[in-house]
Amino acid sequence: MAGRSRPLHIVILAAGLGKRMKSARTKLLHEVAGRPMIDYVLDAVLRLRAERRIIIIGNQAEAVRERIPPSRFETVLQREQLGTGHAVLQTEKLLSRARGDVLILNGDLPGIAPATLRRFTDGHRSQGAAASVLTAILPDPAGYGRVVRDEEGKFLRIVEHADATAAQRRIREINAGVYCFSTAALFRMLRRLRPQNRQGEIYLPDVLELLAAEGLGVRAVQHADAWEVLGVNSRSELAEASRRINQRRVEALMEGGVTVLDPGSTRIGPEVRVGRDTILHGSVHLGGRTSVGRNSLICPGCFIMDCRIGDGVTLLPYSVLMESVVGDGSRVGPFAHLRPGTVLAAAVHVGNFVEVKKSRLGTGTKANHLSYLGDAEIGSGVNVGAGTITCNYDGVAKHLTVIEDGAFIGSDTQLVAPVTVGKGAYVGTGATIREHVPPGALAVSAGKQRNIDGWVEQKKRELKG
Ligand code: UD1
Ligand code: CA
């Protein structure tokens, strides 16, 4: 069988620790633009049709395994990390007798696009090559394996940075860490490899040299977009990859009709959706499963995770919203904090230094200044005065505060839960409400005011005494 009809298998190398990260955590679980690095490669290969998809795990194998959907991938353990060639050898039982080709890729390539992988494997298969390797020209190739070619440009071998001579280190064409092999050729050569190099490892790219030396076809395919094949090995490459991926997401939003005023400082998570004509100012972070409707305005410094924001909403500067819902036409902030379980209906105002947790605020309700509303069911058209506090916690359990439609809560009120303020009721300023307020009633609890005439002058005289 020839060409594209032969079976294709995929192997991802994910057993290394990533020493250059200087981290206790394995490199592939570090987040790039809000997702573990490994997820990008898993997603990319899931877009290709393949017989088997195998992931080599080793370092922190259990933690890595948790990221891998077991219905889509098989995992194989590499007990000791003796190099990329050794990693692939762990699949010998599964693949050495399999027909067809195997696409192998490093796990640290978060920028890799499925279309690139498809073009690369299709080219390999249509030409019936023994092996193909993806390469790129980098301005700064330090750390990568260099592609050595003869005078005619024919592929000879890959030389690792650690093993390269000064002249070889000047080569700017690098091995991207993406390979396609005829399965039979791969395993025949892998068994011959020895760890004879500076790192004492078995290098997968050495298979290419053995095949080329036998005169078998080895294609070194240069890819134009160097950043796409950026291998993330250090914290600074991690930052660079995050920046690039974030930039792609911001551009996708702008293409969809969203205004992004300062793309470089705006962070967009992988699952975020934003509607047309919404405006995002600088330093806005939208993460998790956040969706924002149309015509909304999100001002500088807002941090939003897992929220559903409606149409025509205004989020004033420096507001933090977590796992909350904000209804159409509502206005939040500046400096507001919506904690998980907050649901604002339409046209709600939550103002500065107001914290809301696990509470519902009905249509047109306002809590504009300096309040804490926790575990509250608040109806529509309610006015919550400045400094209102729901005392929801008695030290043991949380209790519910209910404020019915149209009620008016005077400033500096404490509502000691469980308590209900009935429909249209008034609560006087400075009240401590411990009992239910019937609908339409006025509740006052502050003591009667007493003035002592001339007290200040008298005090001064006493002090001079
Ligand atoms: C590798 C290539 C280098 C290439 C570069 C591209 C080798 C010997 N070198 O270098 O030519 O330019 O990628 O980014 O392959 N891994 C295992 N088991 C191991 C060792 C590594 O599974 O025993 C995995 C790692 O988790 C990683 C991948 O293989 O996902 C590559 O390993 P890494 O150490 O990053 O290789 P580089 O030094 O970057
Ligand atoms: Ca690497």
Whether the CB-CB separation of 406 and 388 falls below 8 Å is answered with no
280 and 138 in one domain? no
pLDDT, residue 465, reads 79
In a domain? residue 64: yes
Angle between helices 235-255 and 37-46 (to 10 degrees): 50
Whether the CB-CB separation of 135 and 116 falls below 8 Å is answered with no
Ligand nearest to the CA of 238: 2
DSSP H/E element including 288: none
Atom 26 of ligand 1, nearest CA residue: 16
Choosing from 9, 86, 223, 369, the catalytic residue is 369
Q: What's the length of the chain? A: 465
User: CB within 6 Å of ligand 1 — which residues?
Assistant: 13-16, 56, 58, 78, 81-84, 86-87, 106-108, 144-145, 158, 160, 174-177, 203-205, 231, 233
Cα(161) to centroid of ligand 2, in Å? 12
Please identify which residue in the block is written with the tokens 């300096």: 370
265 and 169 in one domain? no
Whether the CB-CB separation of 230 and 143 falls below 8 Å is answered with no
Whether the CB-CB separation of 306 and 325 falls below 8 Å is answered with no
User: What are the tens digits of pLDDT across the range 254-304?
Assistant: 999 999 999 999 999 999 999 999 999 999 999 999 999 999 999 999 999
From the alpha carbon of 177, which atom of ligand 1 is closest? 6
CA distances from 285 to 210, 262, 280, 323 (A): 50, 12, 9, 14
From the alpha carbon of 175, which atom of ligand 1 is closest? 12
263 and 187 in one domain? no
In a domain? residue 123: yes
**Who has greater pLDDT, 132 or 447?**
132
Cα(112) to centroid of ligand 1, in Å? 15
In a domain? residue 273: yes
Give every CB contact of residue 355 below 8 A, 6+ residues apart in sequence.
336, 337, 339, 371, 372, 373, 374
Give the integer Cα–Cα distance in Å for 311 and 349: 15
218 and 297 in one domain? no
CA distances from 92 to 25, 76, 116, 216, 277 (A): 28, 10, 27, 21, 54
Give the integer Cα–Cα distance in Å for 415 and 400: 10
Give the integer Cα–Cα distance in Å for 181 and 128: 10
Give the integer Cα–Cα distance in Å for 372 and 382: 15
Give the integer Cα–Cα distance in Å for 360 and 410: 19
363 and 305 in one domain? yes
In a domain? residue 464: no
CATH number of the structural domain spanning residue 264: 2.160.10.10
281 and 252 in one domain? yes
204 and 299 in one domain? no
Task: Give yes or no for residue 1 having a pLDDT over 90.
Answer: no
State how far Cα 165 lies from the chain centre: 40
Tell me the best of 37, 68, 84, 175 to mutate to test the pocket of ligand 1, counting ligand atoms within 8 Å of each CB and taking the most.
84
Please identify which residue in the block is written with the tokens 């509470």: 359
pLDDT, residue 281, reads 98
pLDDT, residue 4, reads 65
Cα(106) to centroid of ligand 1, in Å? 6
The proportion of the chain whose per-residue pLDDT surpasses 70, expressed as a percent, equals 99
In a domain? residue 237: no
Give the integer Cα–Cα distance in Å for 40 and 31: 10
289 and 437 in one domain? yes
Domain end point (choices 198, 229, 260)? 229
Cα(233) to centroid of ligand 2, in Å? 5
Ligand nearest to the CA of 60: 1
pLDDT, residue 395, reads 93
253 and 215 in one domain? no
pTM assigned to the model: 0.90
Give 443: exposed, middle or buried? Use CB within 10 Å, 0-12, 13-18, 19+.
buried
Give the integer Cα–Cα distance in Å for 430 and 93: 77
From the alpha carbon of 18, which atom of ligand 1 is closest? 34
Atom 9 of ligand 1, nearest CA residue: 145
From the alpha carbon of 81, which atom of ligand 1 is closest? 23
Q: Are strands 401-403 and 376-378 parallel, antiparallel or unpaired?
A: parallel
From the alpha carbon of 12, which atom of ligand 1 is closest? 30
pLDDT tier for residue 5 given thresholds of 50, 70 and 90 = confident
168 and 294 in one domain? no
User: What are the tens digits of pLDDT across the range 87-98?
Assistant: 999 999 999 889
Cα(282) to centroid of ligand 2, in Å? 33
Atom 16 of ligand 1, nearest CA residue: 16
210 and 163 in one domain? yes
User: What are the tens digits of pLDDT across the range 210-239?
Assistant: 999 999 989 999 999 999 999 999 999 999
Domain that holds residue 116: 3-229
225 and 283 in one domain? no
Domain end point (choices 197, 229, 261)? 229
* Structural domains in the chain (count): 2
Give 93: exposed, middle or buried? Use CB within 10 Å, 0-12, 13-18, 19+.
exposed
pLDDT, residue 446, reads 76
In a domain? residue 457: no
How many Cβ atoms from other residues are within 10 Å of residue 272's Cβ?
A: 22
In a domain? residue 452: no
Cα(203) to centroid of ligand 2, in Å? 12
pLDDT, residue 67, reads 94
- Is 124 assigned a catalytic role? no
| DSSP helix/strand/coil, 10 | strand
Give the integer Cα–Cα distance in Å for 296 and 307: 14
Whether the CB-CB separation of 272 and 255 falls below 8 Å is answered with no
Q: Which two tokens stand for residue 302?
A: 């807002």
CATH number of the structural domain spanning residue 44: 3.90.550.10
In a domain? residue 90: yes
